[in-house]
Amino acid sequence: MACWAVVAPLLEAPVAARPDPARWRARLAVEAGAGGAGDGQGQVVTVFPATLELGVQVWRYLSVTAAAEGILSTTPVDGCGVVRAPHAALGTVGLRGDLWNGKSSPWPTPFLEVHGGVGGQRAGGPSDASCPRLAPFGTGGVKVGVDAWLGRVAVTVAFSYDYLPVAAPISFHLGANIVLF
């Protein structure tokens, strides 16, 4: 009886909840999209971004991202006296916050990402006297969207803004996230 008096409170004690394991610790995203921008001269420029991104979780809902993005344009602009399409290439590093990243989390997961990096753009600005073929610049941007997780793969729908010297786009993205581990 005395033994039961010692054991009974231990059996009734609340068990500490285990933390929800992460849905992903590393992921690969492939996205394509379409968007538009103004060229500073009143003309609307159509752009088509394509992104390859690697994300690694650093703490619960926060991850570090590294991305390569190519932006193609079908609309030529007049930059430094030469009319050409403002195609661009970007390399960025960023921070991404997922609202949920647990195995028991709901399947739609909103996220917000901020990033910065370097890029090159084919069309120079109007004050660029030398008119280089690929002018380097610093870039930054933001992306907001939702991942719809279907097991180890997610369908991604997002909107983004990226700084470009000519025709900085607001774009719609559609893509997929794949869990690496």
Task: Look at residue 121 in the predicted model and tell me its pLDDT.
Answer: 86
Mean pLDDT of each 10-residue bin along the chain, 181 residues long: 62 65 94 89 88 95 96 81 83 95 90 96 58 80 96 96 90 96 91
- Provide the whole-model pTM: 0.82
Q: What is d(CA 148, CA 177) in angstroms, rounded to the nearest whole number?
A: 9
Task: Look at residue 126 in the predicted model and tell me its pLDDT.
Answer: 47
Task: Look at residue 123 in the predicted model and tell me its pLDDT.
Answer: 64
Q: What structural domains and CATH numbers belong to the chain?
A: 22-179 (2.40.160.20)
The residue count for the chain: 181
Q: What is d(CA 167, CA 176) in angstroms, rounded to the nearest whole number?
A: 26
Task: Look at residue 84 in the predicted model and tell me its pLDDT.
Answer: 78
